[in-house]
Structure 1
Amino acid sequence: MDMLRRFMGMPRQLPAPAFPEDDVYPLHLQDYNFRRLLMVSTMRFDDVLDAEKLHNALSQLLEIGDWRKLGGRLRSDGGGKMEIHVPRQFSEKRPAINFSHNDISETRIANHPLANQLPVPTKDTSVQPNPYDLINLGVRPDIPKTVEDMVNKDLPQISLHVTSFQDATLVGISWPHCVMDSLGYKAFLHGWSLVLGGRESEVPKLLGARHDVLLEAEMEGLQNARKSFLLEPRRLKGAKLVLFVLRYLWNLFWNPAPEVKTIFLPKIALARLYNQCLDEISAEIPDIDEKPSISEESALLAWLARFATSFKANTVPLTILNFFNARLKLQSLADQGGVYVQNMACYSFTFLSPKLARGGMEAFIQEHQRHIQEQTTEQQCLSFLRAYRRATETGKSFKPFFGEPDAQILGFNNLSAANLIHTVDFSAAVLKHGKIAESRTPAGTMTCYYYHIINNRLGCGPDCIYMLGKDYGENLWLIAALPARVWEKIEEALEML
């Protein structure tokens, strides 16, 4: 029966809650849209950290007010939706988090057969493999592979896996995406750091746990809205949607899977590449004496997109799927005296003609910026949320998508604003400094982090670029899933910097 339901695109029926005394929290609509993905973020520290201190501090955080919601278990509500059941009292049998510790402190991280494959900071620009097997360093061996597994086994939503080396520590956090997005994860890491540092009184209140603030904002903000949803005329439906899906499946089955790699751009090389892009743009608009005001992120996206489109026919348009966050767009969510640990991610779409996609960098960036500015106003954000809510409520498994059915798709997620590397302060858990060098990060802070998806490899889908942000040396980290021949061109260009 479950197989038939999955074939028909219907959600699998989950077992009824086994603990009726649990405190029940709702799973909001936007969270529900992300329920299938199981995320892993593995943080690297050049210090030996106390695993038990990390565990205890995180458990303590999830005892504070509505932060308890994160310690709950996903359940079916019996009506086709899901909710979160939180034990009245966390216990050894039903803990707030799933904790595991792999103590191999007799081994240096560089000598470990798998950990020595992790991308690391390098003196010069580098493109480093990011094989899927590296995910095993951030999770315990029996980590659930699906949300159904988590539900059936009454497992906490969040897992903490610590690997202790002689000179370093890997701290892996895994969670269903329905728990939180990148800015929610930032708030989570900050709260954890505060508790670990003995500053529990400074932990911000977790907002929106009991009521859907996005739904409230949508209902209130769109009552008198006069502007229509800008993307609606570009929505794929009917024959165009069928063609788009068939093209996607054809590429998925017949083309080699994209290769996932990490790009490390040292501060000096980043400045050199950025100035190279600005010089190219200035040459395209010779009447302007000053260098154009364009962000590093926009310049790098245009530079990388040039390679991503280089092997496509000159007649193929480009659609860029951009991530943005409703927290930063909705006035009703601002200055509320707390944090929202949930999903508020939205999408905007940049539609580039074949000529613009392969033309000058200045025109590419201007068109990209125009689409983003038009689609990320407060009213357009609310319109986007309404479109996705309606698709969810009608049971559609394929959410709205926009653009041309024959377009090349390039996903772009800029996580620089989350500033995750600079958010974590685990200095209170440092047992021993593992690296003694002028270039090392402050004690108890991240060197870098690695991003994986348990049940949906980053390379399984359209080409995508994730800008992870800058480290303490102002070096930039990126991860991308791109075809092998595109990587060859990127590596050749980076070697010439």
Structure 2
Amino acid sequence: MFRRQVPPAKVPTDTVIPFRFFDDTPLWRTIILYSMFVFDDVLSPEKLRNSLERLAKRDGWTRLGARMRKDAQGNLEYHIPAEFTEERRALSYTHMAYDMDAADHPVASKIPAPSSKPAVVCDPDDFRGLLYPDSGPVSIDDYLNRDIPQLGLYIISFRDKTFVVIYWPHTLMDALGKKALLDAWTLMLQGREDDIVAPQGRDGDPLADLGKYPTEPHKLASRRLSMFGLAQYGINNVLDLFRAQENRMLCVPGSFIENLRKEAISELESEGAENTFLTEGDVLCAWWIKVATSHLPANSQRTVVINNAYSLRKCLETDLLPKGVPYVSNGTGFINVLLPVHHIFEKPLSYIAAATRTAIQELGTRSQVEAFFAMWRGSSGRIPPFFGNGNMHMITLSNWGKAKLFDLDFSAAVLQPSREGGKSGSPIYIQNNQWGIVLPNGFPIMGKDKDGNFWLSGYMNKGLWGRIEEQLVKA
């Protein structure tokens, strides 16, 4: 007989803090994140654990060790123990040690090396069995029905490499929140505790007023999907939720993107464009949009919606999120570019890259961000606004380049440097896995590694990645 899980009893001495408004959303509730960092060094598990656990006990950082509960209305709240003990630790921790080289392990041996040209290099889901500890959380119910911290650490040691996995519910933080956590963890490892800055907000919500005072309409307001439009989009794409999805990791050499960037800028200059500035990220995303939509009919009038996730931190540094103080939470918005399919096929890469850059400049202003979040705040069920139409093809991109994850410096925890020499303590490979909802055509970009290679991954309907691999081989 099925027995309903019962949440643990609330502890009267816990400090109760309501979730921030834009943390407790239906989308973030559905996602549990696992980030894996592979080091070509032997790291000290105890140094890594002790430093991260001490960080979670510091003033302003105790949300990392909070327990998740619901209030009487069903809203999420943090319950922070008055004191972290052996029974109620500040950090979930597991360590697995193998007396072998990673190359001799059936799963760890599959970690990909960079490619000399754009290529699909692995299936990140092949490593799920390696990065997932026994009883690791896979849904928000695991946090609600067990007395576990928000943050978990899983370390897998080999004789020549170390795999470091951190995991958390998306309700806790986004990619740049993770970056702030990693920076503080590094300082703790280095014995520089006095340099650690407490995150913004502490027990409050720095974004409590975001979206309450719009001064202008959003520039895409006329293209916003109504509830009927959203329902139509859902009906048109419901089969994707039942189709088999395939996950792949792509490596794109930096030299390839730089050549495309120079070519795109040259195209814009020859057309007499007023603004010819393009970032590597603009060009990488534009190139990937062309590749990821190549299975669609070339003459289609269907709308492709490019849904770019971006951090609010820089935009809000003049008022809500002052510069120099980390924001360990969800500070993510979305910038949209709407293009007909046939334009993606007919026009040069510079057209898509420039459209992306223009959207960032126009929709990323402080007033437009306020307008966007006014729509989000006023939506039914805290669902972010979507733009386009019920028949659109949506691609979501999340570029974590600004987090500079490959620059992570864990050299203070190195016991045995890389056999290959060079700087030790920095990851050679990074991937992100998630449990919960899987969004087809959602692509996180891990960033650029020390050799200049870009890494991105994502899910697509079964069979599409095979077609992309065929294209890349011919490129």
Q: Tell me the TM-score normalised to structure 1 length.
A: 0.87
Structure 2: gaps spanning 5 or more residues: none
Q: Secondary structure at the match of 2:29?
A: coil
Equivalent of 1:342 in 302, 318, 329: 329
Deviation per residue, 1:206-258 (Å, 9 max, x gap): 21121111123444xx1xx43112333222124322211101103333x542x
Question: Is the CA contact (8 Å cut-off) linking 1:157 and 1:176 kept in structure 2?
Answer: yes
Equivalent of 1:479 in 440, 448, 457: 457
Shift of 1:111: 1.2
1:401 maps to a residue whose letter is F
How many angstroms apart in 2 are the aligned matches of 1:400 and 1:316?
Answer: 20
Shift of 1:128: 1.3
Cα distance change, pair 17–344 in 1 and its aligned pair in 2 (3 A):
farther
Cα distance change, pair 88–294 in 1 and its aligned pair in 2 (3 A):
same
Question: Is the CA contact (8 Å cut-off) linking 1:139 and 1:160 kept in structure 2?
Answer: no
How many angstroms apart in 1 are the aligned matches of 2:240 and 2:345?
Answer: 21
Question: Is the CA contact (8 Å cut-off) linking 2:215 and 2:367 kept in structure 1?
Answer: no
Shift of 1:402: 1.6
Residue identity over aligned pairs, in percent, reads 30
Question: Is the CA contact (8 Å cut-off) linking 1:38 and 1:453 kept in structure 2?
Answer: yes
Question: Is the CA contact (8 Å cut-off) linking 1:62 and 1:71 kept in structure 2?
Answer: yes
Q: Secondary structure at the match of 1:298?
A: helix
| Equivalent residue runs for 1:142-291 within 5 Å | 142-219=135-212, 222=213, 225-253=214-242, 255-257=243-245, 259-266=246-253, 270-276=254-260, 278-279=262-263, 282=266, 286=270
Shift of 1:133: 3.9
2:389 maps to a residue whose letter is E
Q: Tell me the TM-score normalised to structure 2 length.
A: 0.91
1:373 maps to a residue whose letter is Q
Does structure 1 residue 465 correspond to structure 2 residue 458?
A: no
Q: Matched residue pairs, number?
A: 468
How many angstroms apart in 2 are the aligned matches of 1:345 and 1:290?
Answer: 29
Q: Secondary structure at the match of 1:338?
A: coil
Aligned match of 1:31:
23
Shift of 1:317: 1.4
Shift of 1:35: 2.5
How many angstroms apart in 2 are the aligned matches of 1:231 and 1:37?
Answer: 28
Does structure 1 residue 301 correspond to structure 2 residue 285?
A: yes
| Equivalent residue runs for 1:48-63 within 5 Å | 48-63=42-57
Shift of 1:51: 0.5
Aligned match of 2:469:
491
Question: Is the CA contact (8 Å cut-off) linking 1:41 and 1:173 kept in structure 2?
Answer: yes
Cα distance change, pair 20–148 in 1 and its aligned pair in 2 (3 A):
same
| Equivalent residue runs for 1:54-133 within 5 Å | 54-104=48-98, 106-122=99-115, 125-133=118-126
Deviation per residue, 1:314-367 (Å, 9 max, x gap): 132100111011111112145455211000111121111233232212322232
How many angstroms apart in 2 are the aligned matches of 1:54 and 1:375?
Answer: 40
Question: Is the CA contact (8 Å cut-off) linking 1:119 and 1:262 kept in structure 2?
Answer: no
Aligned match of 2:339:
352
Q: Secondary structure at the match of 2:313?
A: helix
How many angstroms apart in 2 are the aligned matches of 1:147 and 1:290?
Answer: 48
How many angstroms apart in 2 are the aligned matches of 1:455 and 1:87?
Answer: 27
Cα distance change, pair 150–290 in 1 and its aligned pair in 2 (3 A):
closer
Aligned match of 2:388:
403
How many angstroms apart in 2 are the aligned matches of 1:50 and 1:287?
Answer: 56
Q: Secondary structure at the match of 1:214?
A: coil
How many angstroms apart in 1 are the aligned matches of 2:236 and 2:354?
Answer: 29
How many angstroms apart in 2 are the aligned matches of 1:217 and 1:402?
Answer: 20
Shift of 1:40: 0.4
Shift of 1:14: 7.1
Question: Is the CA contact (8 Å cut-off) linking 2:37 and 2:430 kept in structure 1?
Answer: yes
Equivalent of 1:430 in 414, 425, 436: 414
Question: Is the CA contact (8 Å cut-off) linking 1:320 and 1:410 kept in structure 2?
Answer: yes
Cα distance change, pair 72–410 in 1 and its aligned pair in 2 (3 A):
same
Shift of 1:25: 2.1
How many angstroms apart in 1 are the aligned matches of 2:205 and 2:6?
Answer: 23
Cα distance change, pair 183–292 in 1 and its aligned pair in 2 (3 A):
same
1:274 maps to a residue whose letter is E
Cα distance change, pair 17–403 in 1 and its aligned pair in 2 (3 A):
farther
Q: Secondary structure at the match of 1:30?
A: coil
Q: Secondary structure at the match of 2:353?
A: helix
How many angstroms apart in 1 are the aligned matches of 2:221 and 2:260?
Answer: 37
Structure 1: gaps spanning 5 or more residues: 4-11
| Equivalent residue runs for 1:312-327 within 5 Å | 312-313=296-297, 314-327=300-313
Q: Secondary structure at the match of 2:77?
A: strand
Q: Secondary structure at the match of 1:209?
A: coil
Question: Is the CA contact (8 Å cut-off) linking 2:70 and 2:77 kept in structure 1?
Answer: yes
Question: Is the CA contact (8 Å cut-off) linking 2:15 and 2:82 kept in structure 1?
Answer: yes
Deviation per residue, 1:162-214 (Å, 9 max, x gap): 00001000010000011111111001001111111111111112211211111
Shift of 1:158: 0.8
Shift of 1:306: 1.4
Aligned match of 1:450:
431
How many angstroms apart in 2 are the aligned matches of 1:312 and 1:124?
Answer: 24
